[in-house]
Amino acid sequence: MDGFENKNELNNEAVDTAAQNLSQAADDAASAMTGAEQKPTSYEEVYGTVEQAASDAAQPFVDVKVTYDGEGETGKANGMQIASLVLGILSIVLACCTSYIGSVFGIVGLILAILGNKQGKHGIGTAGFVCSIVGIVIGIIMTIIGALALASLGSINNLL
């Protein structure tokens, strides 16, 4: 049993020595940090006082307006662009019902979109341009379908 107790004493001494070395290393690290930047320990150190927050909140917001000189989007859409969008949407709707009227609205909307976009590009002008083209194409397709339907009706009447 002496050998076993002897081993335990050696192990206990090794554990004690390791614990002392670890404690010494922690103390050295703590003393090294005293000169370094320490972490804030309170709410006020991190976020400031209530008075500071109130004075920051009292500052007015800055309203920034960005202008762009040159090609590109400007602040507001002009009347021609808005009218082209309205006529473009109407041309799509009317092209499905009455093909040629929808095409006429689409052509007028296309002209207004081109003229409006020359004054300054804006998303509404582009949308009016696209809607007008779509309305013209649908109007042409519906006119062709209507003409073919009338032609086929004429040939059916000849058979009877």
pLDDT, residue 109, reads: 95
> Within a domain: residue 119?
yes
Q: What is the reported pTM?
A: 0.51
Cα 158 to Cα 35, 58, 72, 153: the distances in Å are: 107, 87, 59, 9
pLDDT, residue 64, reads: 52
Dihedral (C-alpha) 129, 131, 133, 134: value to the nearest 10 degrees?
160
> Within a domain: residue 139?
yes
> Within a domain: residue 48?
no
108-140 pLDDT per residue, tens: 999 999 999 898 888 899 999 999 999 999 999
The total number of structural domains in the chain stands at 1
31-88 pLDDT per residue, tens: 655 555 566 666 666 666 666 666 666 666 555 555 555 555 556 878 899 999 999 9
Range of the domain at 154: 79-159
DSSP label at residue 40: P
> Within a domain: residue 54?
no
What's the CA gap between 4 and 38, in Å, rounded? 48
33-44 pLDDT per residue, tens: 555 556 666 666
